[in-house]
Amino acid sequence: MSNLPCRPIATMPLLIRPVAATPHVPAVAAWLHAQWWQAGGHSLDATAAFLRKATGPAAPCALVAERDGVPLGTATFDTDDLPARPDLSPWLASVFVTSAARRQGVATALVKAVEAMAATQGVRRLWLFTPDQAPFYAARGWVQAGVEEYRGSPVVLMQRDFP
């Protein structure tokens, strides 16, 4: 009989690494395609191709968070994101966590991972935009920097400065 401890999955460590280095490209591509890329006119194949190339450590780098081999969420350190502001770079983009894995700190860990990547690359100011999650980012040190338009709707532009 095995003496292996039985551990609830939520207490297992969260592993965050570039999605290109994992078997999770198809799963992450499906999330991002359904969430944003399809509406932008991109195919699922194009989404997956971006993920395979976004290896970092310089932007672009698409990360996946997984626990016990199960992919739970993703975030990207990207060179560009908001078409209305091509003057701004780089960006925290495409933060997504599966419904079942929400409210367990997965997005918080992904945001911190992208911030750490940016700081390591010597970035002094990181940008993001969000239609409805500004309070989430504000609680994590992000500051509102204006209101912009994305696909015909207003979005909040936010910045995070590094010393």
Q: Which residues bind ligand COA (CB under 6 A)?
A: 73, 95-97, 102-108, 130, 133, 136, 139
Q: Cβ closer to ligand COA: 7 or 103?
A: 103
Minimal distance in Å, beta carbon 2 to ligand COA? 29
Minimal distance in Å, beta carbon 132 to ligand COA? 7
Minimal distance in Å, beta carbon 145 to ligand COA? 14
The continuous run of DSSP H or E covering 138 comes out as helix 134-138
Q: Cβ closer to ligand COA: 4 or 139?
A: 139
Identify the burial level of 85 via C-beta atoms within 10 angstroms of its C-beta, where 0-12 means exposed, 13-18 middle and 19 or more buried.
middle
In angstroms, the Cα distances linking 153 to 77, 129, 130, 157 are 23, 12, 11, 13
For residues 61 and 17, what is the distance between their CA atoms, to the nearest angstrom? 9
Minimal distance in Å, beta carbon 41 to ligand COA? 19
Q: Cβ closer to ligand COA: 89 or 98?
A: 98
Q: Cβ closer to ligand COA: 22 or 133?
A: 133
Q: Which two tokens stand for residue 19?
A: 């999605």
Main-chain phi, psi angles of 105, to 5 degrees: 90, 10
